Amino acid sequence: MPATMAQQGPLGDWVDEVCRLTQPDKVVWCTGSEEEYQAIVGEMVRTGTLIPLNADSHPACYLHRSHHSDVARTEQSTFICTSRKEDAGPTNNWMSPAEAQERVAKLYQGCMRGRKLYVVPYLMGPVGSSYSRVGVEITDSPYVVANMRIMTRMGKTALDHLGSGADFVKGLHSLGDLNPERRFILHFPEDHRIWSIGSGYGGNALLGKKCHALRIASWVGRQEGWLAEHMLILGLQDPAGEVHYIAAAFPSACGKTNLAMLVPPAAFPGWKVWTVGDDIAWMHPGSDGRLWAINPEAGFFGVAPGTSPKTNPNAMAMLNRGVIFTNVAVTPDGRPWWEGIDEPAPPGLVDWQGRLCSPGREKSAHPNSRFTASARNCPSISPSWEDPKGVPISAIIFGGRRARVAPLVYESFSWAHGVFVGAGMASETTAAATGAVGVVRRDPMAMLPFCGYNMGDYWGHWLSVGARLKQPPKIFHVNWFRTSADGKYLWPGYGENLRVLQWILSRVKGSGKTAESPIGLLPTREALNVDGLKPAPGALDALLSVDRVAWQQELKDQRKFFDQFGDRLPRALAKEYEAFAARLQ
Ligand code: GTP
Ligand code: SPV
Ligand code: MN
The pair phi, psi for residue 391, each rounded to 5°, is -125, 145
Please work out whether the CB of residue 256 comes within 6 Å of at least one atom of ligand 2: no
Check: CB of residue 273 under 8 Å from CB of residue 261. yes
Question: Beta strand 299-303 with 78-80: parallel, antiparallel or unpaired?
Answer: unpaired
H or E segment to which residue 20 belongs: helix 10-22
375 CA from centroid of ligand 2 (Å): 16
429 with 436: CB under 8 angstroms?
Answer: yes
H or E stretch covering 184: strand 184-188
Each residue's pLDDT expressed in tens, for the chain with a length of 585 residues: 556 677 788 999 999 999 999 999 999 999 999 999 999 999 999 999 999 999 999 999 999 999 999 999 999 999 999 999 999 999 999 999 999 999 999 999 999 999 999 999 999 999 999 999 999 999 999 999 999 999 999 999 999 999 888 899 999 999 999 999 999 999 999 999 999 999 999 999 999 999 999 999 999 999 999 999 999 999 999 999 999 999 999 999 999 999 999 999 999 999 999 999 999 999 999 999 999 999 999 999 999 999 999 999 999 999 999 999 999 999 999 999 999 999 999 999 999 999 999 876 788 999 999 999 999 999 999 999 999 999 999 999 999 999 999 999 999 999 999 999 999 999 999 999 999 999 999 999 999 999 999 999 999 999 999 999 999 999 999 999 999 999 999 999 999 999 999 999 999 999 999 999 999 999 999 999 999 999 888 999 999 999 999 999 999 999 999 999 999 999 999 999 999 999 999
CB proximity list for 523: less than 8 A, separation 6 or greater:
409, 503, 512, 513, 514, 515, 544
**Exposed/middle/buried for residue 27 (C-beta within 10 Å: 0-12, 13-18, 19+):** middle
**Cα 438 vs. chain centroid, distance in angstroms?**
19
Say yes or no: CB of residue 432 within 6 Å of ligand 2.
yes
Question: For the segment 65-114, what is each residue's pLDDT rounded down to a tens digit?
Answer: 999 999 999 999 999 999 999 999 999 999 999 999 999 999 999 999 99
Cα(432) to centroid(ligand 2), Å: 6
Is there an atom of ligand 1 within 6 Å of 492 CB?
Answer: no
- The whole-angstrom separation of Cα 30 and Cα 35 is 11
Report yes or no: 77 and 183 within 8 Å, Cβ to Cβ: yes
Q: What is the dihedral sign for C-alpha 27, 33, 35, 40?
A: positive
User: 349: CA distance to ligand 2 center in Å?
Assistant: 26
Type and span of the H or E element at 504: helix 498-508
CATH architecture assignment, domain 5-48+76-225? 3-Layer(aba) Sandwich (3.40)
Q: Which helix (H) or strand (E) holds 156?
A: helix 156-162
E-strand spans in 407-460?
409-411, 426-428, 440-442
Judge if pTM exceeds 0.75: yes
Residue 254 appears among annotated catalytic residues: yes
Instruction: Tell me the CATH number for domain 228-299+382-584.
Output: 3.90.228.20
> SS3 of 137, please?
strand
Cα separation, 544 vs 407, in Å, equals: 6
Q: In this predicted model, what pLDDT tens digit does every residue of 520-576 receive, in sequence order?
A: 999 999 999 999 999 888 999 999 999 999 999 999 999 999 999 999 999 999 999
Q: Whole-angstrom Cα distance, residue 119 to residue 276?
A: 28
- Judged by DSSP in three states, 68 sits in coil
Atom of ligand 1 at shortest range from CA of 301: 2
Please give all residues whose CB falls under 5 A of ion ligand 3, grouped by chain where several chains appear: 252, 279
Q: How far is CA 283 from CA 85, 155, 376, 535, in A?
A: 27, 25, 22, 37
Ligand nearest to the backbone CA of 204: 2
Determine the Cα–Cα distance for residues 7 and 25; give it in Å rounded to an integer: 18
Q: Provide φ and ψ at 441, rounded to 5°.
A: -140, 155
Residue 210 beta carbon below 6 angstroms from any ligand 2 atom = yes
- Which atom of ligand 1 is found nearest the CA of 494? 27
What phi and psi, each to the nearest 5 degrees, are found at residue 149? -65, -35
Instruction: Check if 303 has its Cβ closer than 6 Å to any atom of ligand 1.
Output: yes
Query: Could you tell me which residues come within 8 angstroms of residue 571 by beta carbon, excluding any fewer than 6 positions away?
Result: none
The domain spans of the chain are 5-48+76-225, 228-299+382-584
Closest listed residue to residue 270, CA positions, set 498, 462, 82, 465: 498
